[in-house]
A and B are shown apart, each in its own frame.
Chain A
Amino acid sequence: MTERLRKIESLFHAALELDEARRAAFLDSACGGEVDLRREVDSLLSYSKLSENFIETPALAIIAKELASKQRQELARCRDDARRKKKT
């Protein structure tokens, strides 16, 4: 891990512990004039709330759910086919 990433990370976590209202002021003073650093931390912070539920469901469950919905569709189609055959 680079020194830069370490810095980004520690600012990220420190900012998350503050109220949103106080974050800007904190980052202003912590980043000083480093515009790139500030931009990177801001960008990651903007994703922190959105990503709250992101990948919290294990991959196995995600795929199985997807599989279930595909199978459901496929099977519903088969059932319709079978019914149609019965009628004719």
Chain B
Amino acid sequence: MFLNGARGHTPGKVRHFCRSMLVDFLLNTNSENRARKVTHRQEKITEGYCGRSRYSFTVPLDSYLMNAFRQCDTVIRILERGRAMTYSPGGLTEGGVTQLLRAWSEGEEKALDQLAPLVEHELNRLAHAYIWRERAGQALQTTELVNEVYLRLIDGKTVNWQDRAHFFAVSAQIMRRILTDFARSRNYLKKGGGAGHVPWDESLAVLAKSPPDIVALDDALDELAFLDPRKARVVELHFFGGLSFEEMAEVLKVSQRTVKRDWKFAKSWLMRALSQRRG
């Protein structure tokens, strides 16, 4: 997303390099100077680490690269000020909402294809923000950040009133698919099986404290939808789609009280389903 192409190098490599500098900075403040040096009009970029591979660049800084580094520099500066999530230089996530809207009108599958990279990008940014905040010794109070991300990705304000309900519903569905696929592909939140026999109470306590297995939750949600579609939708809208209770009441055309009751019941139901799965 930094650039479209740089002479002789694939965008992926250059992007990789930019990210590595950023990440380097996040990890080790001493490398700030190195990152800075590269960002400031040096004729040649010589090296960069990313992952365990080392990249060498000997190309002159053309405008593409300059642009990329400038953006990188902006990110760094903003990280320094501790507002990792509030910047938006040069449209790194160019109108997630607009794209989603356009794609949505052309069918869900299309929206899925277009939104998935944006969501992944936002996930990475969010992850960086977490890393930074932790390094800075700040508590992980990140509700605001998360809400901002949701707003950027799914902003119902730009949709006309009649379409709002459908828009939110479809968006939440798509978010569910993207996030579940992501979790599945990376094997995240997969609880290791065969950890020996754990007493029931103890395994419940662990389940209550640890983050949920999103893939298993997705399955359980299908089962719940079979019993009571509205409760499953409440979970989809709130947990995956980031909708507030007020918005859900509007989308589902029921009172907020009903939504809250559904949510409470569904949580108990789903947690039981997950614990039985593990057992």
Using a CB–CB distance below 8 Å, which chain A residues touch chain B?
Answer: 1-2, 5, 9, 12-13, 16, 43-45, 47-48, 50-51, 53-55, 57-68, 70-72, 74-79, 81-82
Contact = CB atoms under 8 A, between A and B. Distances in A.
B165 to A, nearest CB: 20
Contacts of A64: 123, 126-127, 130, 146
Interface string B61-96: 000000000000000000000000000000000000
Contacts of A58: 146, 150, 238-240, 242
Interface of B: 23, 26-28, 49, 51-52, 119, 122-124, 126-128, 130-131, 134, 140, 142, 146, 149-150, 175-176, 179, 182-183, 186, 188-189, 204, 207-208, 211-212, 214, 217, 227-228, 230, 235, 238-240, 242, 261, 264-265, 267-272, 275
What does DSSP make chain B's interface, helix, strand, loop or mixed?
helix
A13 B179 contact: no
Given A1-B227, A67-B127, A61 B265 contact: no
A5 B228 contact: yes
Given A13-B265, A64-B126, A59 B214 contact: yes
| Shortest Cβ-Cβ A-B pairs, 8 listed | A64-B126, A68-B127, A67-B127, A68-B130, A51-B271, A47-B268, A51-B267, A1-B228
B240 A13 contact: no
Given A59-B175, A60-B149, A54 B208 contact: yes
Contact of B214 (A2, A51, A63): A63
Contact of B123 (A16, A57, A67): A67
A38 B106 CA distance: 49
A51 B267 CA distance: 6
Contacts of B264: 13, 16, 48
A67 B127 CA distance: 6
A51 B23 CA distance: 36
6 contacts: A43-B272, A47-B267, A61-B126, A61-B142, A67-B126, A75-B23
Contacts of B128: 68, 71
Contacts of A48: 264, 267-268
